[in-house]
Amino acid sequence: MSRKTNTALLGAFVLGGILLAVVMVTVLGAGRFFTRLPTYVMYFSGSVKGLNVGAPVVFRGVAVGKVSDVSLSINAEGTSVRIPVVVEIDPGRISGDARLRDTHALMRTLVERGLKAQLQMQNLLTGQLIIELDFHPEAGPQGLKISMGYPEIPTVPSSMEQLTKTIENLPIEELLRKLIQAVEGVEKAVTSPDVARGIQSLNLAINDVRRVAANIDRTVTLFSSDMHGAVTDARVLITDSRQQITDLKASLEQTSAATRAAMQQTQKTMRALEMSGSVDSPLMLQLSRTMEELDATAASIRSLSDYLSRHPEAILRGKPR
């Protein structure tokens, strides 16, 4: 009786454990432990140091899978060394049109459009690598072929690998030889006697230029002083000339007034003589000529006074021809 009870309890315990395991797998794993993810292979020719199993596979920064295996492939002759990397792509990380839910069909379309895999640095301190998927149409379109039983995603060299190849293709020895020749040429040019003489001549020329500049500075200073004095003298001369013109004009006006007074007096004298009947006497004739001369003199004085009023500079430069 006891043995039957223990068997029943054991069976119930095993059945409960199985049910619990199924529930845990269903709830926690959502059935993923029994689902095989789409698997692809990639071949890299450079070093994959830092790429470990479990490293993420990202598409423009979005994790869409992980690395499941990293191995080494060498041909029989040892002339070709490639590193196949097997990755798993999680379709649950990709959303879009319902017709593209076939992961292999989607990946085939993307590869035909230029999708390539490339190694990228994930952490500079630890040196860990990740695989980044992106479009590289400059590398040329390719098809999704089968290799090692998996669809193969083509690859492109990493940025570091491209830099390394570029440096390797440089003619280092030739560049070093040209650099040494350039340094030797510079050394010869620096130590050349011609260069020393040229520098000495340049120093002398600079000193001459400095002296010429100093002389020009002094000359300009003296010329400025002379010009200042000349301007001052010219101002004084103009002032004096204006005063002389004013005085001359006043004198001419006085002379003109005196001439008019003399003419008036002469006219009175002539009228007195005419009244006395001495019109044809020599004195009358002399007075007549004197009147004519005084009249001409007064006209000349008036003309000169008017001209000086319009052209006072004629006192200094004279009347233009």
- Domain ranges in the chain are 37-168, 227-317
244 vs 315: CA distance, rounded Å: 9
Residue 29 has pLDDT above 70, yes or no: no
Name the DSSP letter for residue 153: P
Handedness of CA 208, 210, 211, 212 (dihedral sign): positive
Token pair belonging to 278: 């001495």
Task: Give the rounded percent of residues in the chain with a pLDDT score beyond 70.
Answer: 68
Instruction: Report pLDDT digits (tens) over 176-198.
Output: 888 888 887 777 776 777 777 77
Mean pLDDT is highest, among 8-22, 206-220, 252-266, for: 206-220
Confidence of residue 86 (pLDDT cuts 50, 70, 90): very high
Token pair belonging to 307: 């001209």
Token pair belonging to 130: 């990740």
Task: Give the rounded percent of residues in the chain with a pLDDT score beyond 90.
Answer: 16
Instruction: Write down the number of H helices and E strands in the chain.
Output: 7, 9
44 vs 47: CA distance, rounded Å: 8
Closest CA to 57 of 66, 48, 69, 44: 66
73 vs 84: CA distance, rounded Å: 7
Mean pLDDT is highest, among 66-70, 124-128, 198-202, 249-253, for: 66-70
Lowest mean pLDDT among 24-33, 34-43, 89-98: 24-33
SS3 of 170-215: the string is CCHHHHHHHHHHHHHHHHHHHHCHHHHHHHHHHHHHHHHHHHHHHH
More confident residue, 226 or 50: 50
Closest CA to 135 of 170, 160, 161, 109: 109
Pairing of strands 129-135, 115-121: antiparallel
Residue 320 has a pLDDT of 64
Token pair belonging to 92: 């649950």
Measured from the Cβ of residue 55, the count of other Cβ atoms closer than 10 Å reads 22
Residue 277 has pLDDT above 60, yes or no: no
Token pair belonging to 242: 């204006």
Token pair belonging to 299: 């006209």
